[in-house]
Chains A and B, each alone.
Chain A
Amino acid sequence: MKFAIQINEGPYQHQASDSAYFFTKNVLEKGHEVFRVFFYHDGVNNATRLTTPPQDDRHVVNRWADLAEKYELDMVVCVAAAQRRGIVDDGEAQRNRKDATNIHPRFRISGLGQLVEAAIQSDRLVVFGD
């Protein structure tokens, strides 16, 4: 079965990003397909590669990136939500004349159409948030 995952909450906030991660991991381990993981609202903060949690704490960003690496996940960050919160890739840095980027290379910035497409293409859309 094909799943789409939507995450509306940032890392280390409450529990939504953790719940979404364990749900997605189990979906994949059961042999289902994940069409896309879409990060929306404060969820875009899951995509910054500058995150440095204490060594004995989970690394939410790298954990998502490792899962994406292993299963070739498409992880998309909403562009409008990202701009508001300062999540920047090369294209956005150039377009908005910023002096740095901070997005993890396993994530990509795109539009809300990607969420709509994921909802249409998937059998289930599961939303995690606050």
Chain B
Amino acid sequence: MSILHTVNKSPFERNSLESCLKFASQGASVLLMEDGVYAALAGSSAESQLKAGLGKVSIYVLGPDIKARGFHEDRLIAGIKVVDYAGFVDLAVDNDKVQAWL
């Protein structure tokens, strides 16, 4: 059974991404959205945490939320996939459950 985890808070504000990556099982999908997209940027102190997560789960980031915060996709950590809202819907369909880490 595969789960799509959504994380919508910055790793500098809450530890929801840390909890999510700890509990997500091998092969799960994690979508970073809203302020959660800050974790996807290369060069921050959260980078090592996210890179470790990439070994276990697929990590996606919501493109419109990256753009809304004034960042370009070339700032993202390698290995993170960018999706739009339609891609978010596809992820929800392709996984058996959606778990929001609010």
Which residues in A have some Cβ–Cβ distance to B below 8 Å?
Answer: 1, 3, 8, 14-16, 19, 22-23, 25-27, 29-30, 32, 124-130
Closest to A130 in B: B102
Q: Known contacts being A16-B34, A19-B8, is A124 close to B86, with CB within 8 Å?
A: no
**A interface: dominant SS:** mixed
Closest to A15 in B: B34
Q: Which residues of B contact A127 (CB under 8 A)?
A: 98, 100, 102
CB distance from B92 to the nearest CB of A (A): 5
CB distance from B18 to the nearest CB of A (A): 18
* Complex: A8 Cα to B100 Cα, angstroms: 12
Closest to B9 in A: A130
Indicate if the CB atoms of A1 and B34 lie closer than 8 Å: no
Q: Which residues of B contact A125 (CB under 8 A)?
A: 98
* Complex: A32 Cα to B92 Cα, angstroms: 12
